[in-house]
Chain A
């Protein structure tokens, strides 16, 4: 086997690289002692390092204790204490190791199940030694792909992309007074994020795929295209057509989404947002997609979704994305998951994180990612979002409030959408917080709490529920971040967003002071594998913390908002703004992100709608990692947009918040 030992040595630990695959560290899990003994003997004959285990829980403990102590796991399907597929899921999510399933059962259904759950191989018992001799290929493949994926991600990731984009964008949109601040902070954030991310990503130990917003977008698109039922990792992978991405990556991502969806579905009854991401199995998925456009429209038309709600929705979406709290997903994972949605969510992320509900995600994304300018807009939207949150919570018509809010912030409709979906609850919190400057109660709203805050702060946003619902339903990726903020309140939202971001960061290790950090958010996402949901619990929105944010936001919020929005609008098509990290750099005048049509939370519904229509929400590089697919941000955004304008085109869902070009904001 001629494998480059150097690259492998890293992952397989020390020593064995030269004789690879000899020394491959295998963990075998099987409740049958006979099989276990035989397998152990066979693996030893292949010169592997074998650890055998007869219980799944025990195996997980081994793996958790020694994160890099194993290269591959072989597990039986039928085990008394834990289903083999469950173990497979856990390993995929937590450790991202290749897992081989095995069973005496060779029924097609079971084998299919193994594949869809992300197993790299399925062996039929009795297992022959020849089959075991080749298992090293899965290790090599995974690492190679991950590494490559990571590289690709990195280069195209938000952090990188954003960083690169920042200068030009900044130049373009440096019109707002706060922009400079934001930019600076954002840059700082970016750098920090990048550094952090690099640490994570550049390590070859176990390269993880960074699910940037773009990547996530592609994922969402693929899933939507396939339909929930048919969205199996292999097909998704093919549709996505991303070099370096492995089916395993997709499978874990899908599982994560499913997981999130389950969580969000429970909390918010949103069918739309997360559904899409929850995975094919979830019915919500379907609903989500459908929800996106239709619901948004409905919401919009019904006027139920005030801008605020939109924000809330976004927040919700964000929150949803971050709903992972129960799952001890490493930050990386989170990042991955949310990256797609997160761009938007970034803002709301902070706040969203707190809420385990996905809602928070939205919210987080919003503030955090948004650049100062955006923040301003966000402020406004935040306010509206605040309301939204409230509404979201109730998950009523989302569109109404959110959309209305949009006028100001335009850009973030998509966010709101997203938020609505899952993060309805989060939105409020996130929004509430950042907006605190405006009116947000200082209490950071944990996701759940967000609602409260929102209610308080966003008195204006009265429709949060609707808005939230909206997002919730959508499941579209709604760069919640950008939106909520942008909506109505514009500035408020911004602040909130920024705050949220910071909040989120703090929880997630995000540098707080930095408000609209989409970058931060990215960083967050990346660094934090934790559930976003967890983070948002309360701490995310430390409004007080984000005083700086607020401060910056306060700066002619309206202007900011507008600008942010306009810029977003402009960039609408820039969906593909590398969402990584802070696409939403609020201050960044990254018009791109927010410009996504769906995202445009533009304050003026009309404007927004128009814009949104025209533009597809830029990939909200916002927090790529941030928004879990749950919300189909795109869908959400588009939905929101539609609401606003009656028909906003579905946005790509990238709530590229980062591009709140304040300049563009329709005043």
Chain B
């Protein structure tokens, strides 16, 4: 039974990777987990979602302004991107990069469009990770970091 759970968890993780939600960085975080910090990854991700919510709001407000302050947008997005890639959120990172490119070219429409994507991915990942961590807690704290096959 446990093995099943473990396997299930492993599969979950694998699918997250396969679908491009997560990347290598996530593994790096998991490798930092140890007996002293068994839920390190979860803690970090939780902190991320708490912190980045503020950034999302700022960007939303900035996008409503007219004319758009691309420098500011770029700045916000830079911060958001930094955090996102730190937890290994791959798809999210790519959307952020796209957003920044639009900022550089001054493409307001492109920015707004991309940001919608960003928010979508952001929400999707959050759900998936929540699910994952919930499951991981069930399975047991000794979930070793393992690369998806």
**Contacts from A to B (Cβ < 8 Å):** 31-35, 37-38, 41-42, 45, 76, 78, 103-105, 125-126, 128-129
Is A34 a contact of B25 with CB atoms below 8 Å?
Answer: no
In the bound assembly, the distance between CA atoms of A554 and B95 in angstroms comes to 78
Is A38 a contact of B31 with CB atoms below 8 Å?
Answer: no
Tally inter-chain residue pairs, CB-CB below 8 A. 55
Decide: A126 near B47, CB < 8 A? Known: A32-B86, A35-B83, A78-B78: no
Is A42 a contact of B32 with CB atoms below 8 Å?
Answer: yes
Interface centre among A35, A42, A126, A128 (most CB of B within 10 A): A126
B34-46 toward A: CB 8 Å interface, digit per residue (1/0)?
A: 0001001000100
Flag whether B68 is at the interface (Cβ < 8 A). Answer: no
Is B47 a contact of A33 with CB atoms below 8 Å?
Answer: yes
In the bound assembly, the distance between CA atoms of A38 and B31 in angstroms comes to 11
In the bound assembly, the distance between CA atoms of A125 and B84 in angstroms comes to 10
Contact partner of B83 (CB less than 8 A), chosen from A34, A78, A128, A129, is A34
Is A35 a contact of B82 with CB atoms below 8 Å?
Answer: yes
Flag whether B134 is at the interface (Cβ < 8 A). Answer: no
In the bound assembly, the distance between CA atoms of A78 and B25 in angstroms comes to 21
Flag whether B62 is at the interface (Cβ < 8 A). Answer: no
Residue of B nearest to A105 (CB): B78
Is A128 a contact of B28 with CB atoms below 8 Å?
Answer: yes
Is A129 a contact of B31 with CB atoms below 8 Å?
Answer: yes
Point out the residues of chain A lying under 8 angstroms from B13, CB to CB. Answer: none
Q: Size range of the interface on B?
A: 20 to 34
In the bound assembly, the distance between CA atoms of A78 and B48 in angstroms comes to 18
In the bound assembly, the distance between CA atoms of A630 and B11 in angstroms comes to 65
Q: List 12 A-B contacts (CB under 8 A).
A: A32-B82, A34-B51, A38-B44, A38-B86, A41-B40, A78-B78, A78-B82, A104-B81, A105-B78, A126-B85, A126-B86, A126-B88
CB contacts under 8 Å to A, within B77-101, are: 78-79, 81-83, 85-88
Is A34 a contact of B86 with CB atoms below 8 Å?
Answer: yes
Residue of B nearest to A31 (CB): B79
Point out the residues of chain A lying under 8 angstroms from B31, CB to CB. Answer: 129
In the bound assembly, the distance between CA atoms of A50 and B25 in angstroms comes to 21
Flag whether B75 is at the interface (Cβ < 8 A). Answer: yes
In the bound assembly, the distance between CA atoms of A35 and B51 in angstroms comes to 11
Contact partner of B37 (CB less than 8 A), chosen from A41, A76, A126, is A41
The 4 A-B residue pairs whose C-beta atoms are closest, nearest first, are: A104-B82, A126-B25, A34-B83, A126-B85
Point out the residues of chain B lying under 8 angstroms from A103, CB to CB. Answer: 82
Flag whether B29 is at the interface (Cβ < 8 A). Answer: yes
Point out the residues of chain A lying under 8 angstroms from B78, CB to CB. Answer: 78, 104-105
Is B86 a contact of A45 with CB atoms below 8 Å?
Answer: no
Within the complex, the shortest CB–CB distance from B30 to chain A, in Å, comes to: 11
Is B44 a contact of A37 with CB atoms below 8 Å?
Answer: yes
Point out the residues of chain A lying under 8 angstroms from B85, CB to CB. Answer: 104, 125-126
In the bound assembly, the distance between CA atoms of A78 and B88 in angstroms comes to 20
Is A34 a contact of B48 with CB atoms below 8 Å?
Answer: yes
Residue of B nearest to A104 (CB): B82
Contact partner of B79 (CB less than 8 A), chosen from A37, A78, A126, A129, is A78
Contacts beyond the supplied A42-B28, A104-B82: 9 A-B pairs with Cβ under 8 Å:
A34-B86, A41-B32, A78-B75, A78-B79, A103-B82, A104-B81, A125-B85, A126-B25, A126-B88
Residue of A nearest to B40 (CB): A41
Residue of B nearest to A76 (CB): B82
Residue of B nearest to A44 (CB): B32
Point out the residues of chain B lying under 8 angstroms from A34, CB to CB. Answer: 44, 47-48, 51, 83, 86-87
Within the complex, the shortest CB–CB distance from B96 to chain A, in Å, comes to: 9
Point out the residues of chain B lying under 8 angstroms from A38, CB to CB. Answer: 29, 32, 44, 86
Point out the residues of chain A lying under 8 angstroms from B29, CB to CB. Answer: 38
Point out the residues of chain B lying under 8 angstroms from A37, CB to CB. Answer: 44, 47
Within the complex, the shortest CB–CB distance from A507 to chain B, in Å, comes to: 44
In the bound assembly, the distance between CA atoms of A126 and B86 in angstroms comes to 5
In the bound assembly, the distance between CA atoms of A126 and B22 in angstroms comes to 13
CB contacts under 8 Å to A, within B49-95, are: 51, 75, 78-79, 81-83, 85-88
